């Protein structure tokens, strides 16, 4: 292996430390404590794990954490009533409705019912529009975490060729916007892209966010390129359950200049950025300066 490992776990700890320091000052100087509300509908096991982890880390950062756990058969009207209550609550600065929602609920409708200023996921249509037009917005946590890792490794990203594999609203599209914002030349590739290996070979930066285990082999990666692996896929190998990314780590690490591992890469950055976004939302709503280095 020749690639430098980009340690998301360590960078996430640094981000959480910065958030906690800022929260301490906010509380001491202004008597304000940022509050994050997470809404979970149903009992999806993976979502339950994420939500527990978010709550724990929110409290560790000195913030208020509120969880609303609703039954899987909760009506849309009841869910919207919870969102409206949180929108009106002055002690809550960030609202996250855990996705995916049960099939009978309209995700777009629910997300767009969140006050955009409290939309710490950055999924509300007005935050999507603000990001696309280069205006101040709430930025989706996973792409923000990827951007922080890329800036940490490269310093300036200006002029680099970036290929984002995956076109989801949660990762691919906002990731492309953020890279454009940092003056990369950006290609969004996806399952229908012609000559995908050739497209990826042109990249100085590869962000893989397709949700297919080890889909990107090392021979697609240009020597020295930086690889950010967003995938978190559970597979069984040699009779054991394993977590793997969308990139074949071993072969990619042999040619890349730098690569994020799975686990320990993008994953920890996502929750750290959620805390950062909650703090940012709190500062904005109180007309206070935003924390430095924690936003796009």
Binding test (CB under 6 A) with ligand GUN, winner from 121, 229, 246, 248: 121
Cβ–Cβ < 8 Å for 145, 8: yes
Which range, of 64-72, 93-101, 157-165, 261-269, touches ligand GUN by CB under 6 A? 93-101
Residue 141 in the binding site for ligand GUN (CB under 6 A): yes
Task: Let me know if 54 is a catalytic residue.
Answer: yes
CA–CA gap between residue 294 and residue 199 (Å, rounded): 31
Binding test (CB under 6 A) with ligand GUN, winner from 58, 74, 98, 137: 98
CA distances from 201 to 65, 240, 252 (A): 44, 32, 12
Shortest Å distance, C-beta 114 to ligand GUN: 10
Shortest Å distance, C-beta 66 to ligand GUN: 15
Cβ–Cβ < 8 Å for 209, 169: no
Task: Let me know if 204 is a catalytic residue.
Answer: no
Binding test (CB under 6 A) with ligand GUN, winner from 5, 80, 99, 196: 99
Residue 139 in the binding site for ligand GUN (CB under 6 A): no
Return the SS3 of 161.
strand
CA–CA gap between residue 293 and residue 271 (Å, rounded): 16
User: Residue 170 or residue 253: which is nearer to ligand GUN going by CB?
Assistant: 170
Task: Let me know if 98 is a catalytic residue.
Answer: yes
CA–CA gap between residue 158 and residue 149 (Å, rounded): 15
User: Residue 178 or residue 200: which is nearer to ligand GUN going by CB?
Assistant: 178
Return the SS3 of 273.
helix
* Angle between helix 141-154 and helix 8-30 axes, rounded to 10 deg: 110
The set of catalytic residues is 54, 98, 121
**List of residues contacting ligand GUN (CB under 6 A):** 96-99, 121, 141-142, 170
């Amino acid at each position: 292996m020749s690639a430098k490992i980009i340690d998301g776990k360590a960078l996430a700890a640094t981000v959480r430390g910065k958030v906690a320091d800022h929260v301490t000052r906010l509380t001491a100087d202004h008597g304000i404590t940022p509050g994050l509300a997470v809404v979970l509908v149903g009992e999806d096991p993976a979502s339950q794990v994420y939500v527990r982890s978010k709550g724990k880390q929110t409290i560790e950062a000195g913030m208020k954490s509120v969880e609303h756990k609703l039954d899987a058969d909760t009506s849309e009207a009841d869910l919207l009533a919870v969102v409206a209550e949180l929108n009106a609550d002055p002690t809550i600065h960030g609202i996250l409705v855990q996705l995916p929602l049960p099939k009978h609920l309209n995700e777009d409708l629910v997300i767009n019912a969140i006050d955009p200023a409290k939309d710490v996921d950055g999924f509300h249509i007005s935050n999507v529009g603000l990001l696309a037009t280069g205006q101040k917005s709430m930025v989706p946590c996973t792409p923000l975490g990827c951007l922080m890792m890329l800036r940490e490794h490269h310093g300036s990203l200006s002029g680099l060729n970036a290929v984002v594999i995956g076109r989801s609203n949660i990762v691919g599209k906002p990731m492309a916007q953020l890279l454009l914002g940092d003056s990369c030349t950006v290609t969004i590739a996806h399952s229908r892209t012609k000559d995908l290996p050739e497209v990826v070979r042109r990249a100085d930066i590869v962000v893989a966010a397709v949700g297919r285990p080890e889909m990107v082999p090392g021979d697609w990666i240009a020597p020295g390129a930086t690889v950010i692996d967003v995938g978190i896929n559970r597979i069984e190998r040699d009779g054991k359950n394993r977590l793997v990314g969308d990139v074949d780590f071993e072969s990619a690490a042999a040619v890349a200049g730098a690569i994020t591992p799975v686990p320990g890469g993008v994953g920890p950055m996502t929750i750290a950025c959620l805390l950062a976004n909650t703090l940012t939302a709190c500062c904005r709503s109180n007309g206070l300066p935003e924390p430095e280095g924690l936003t796009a």
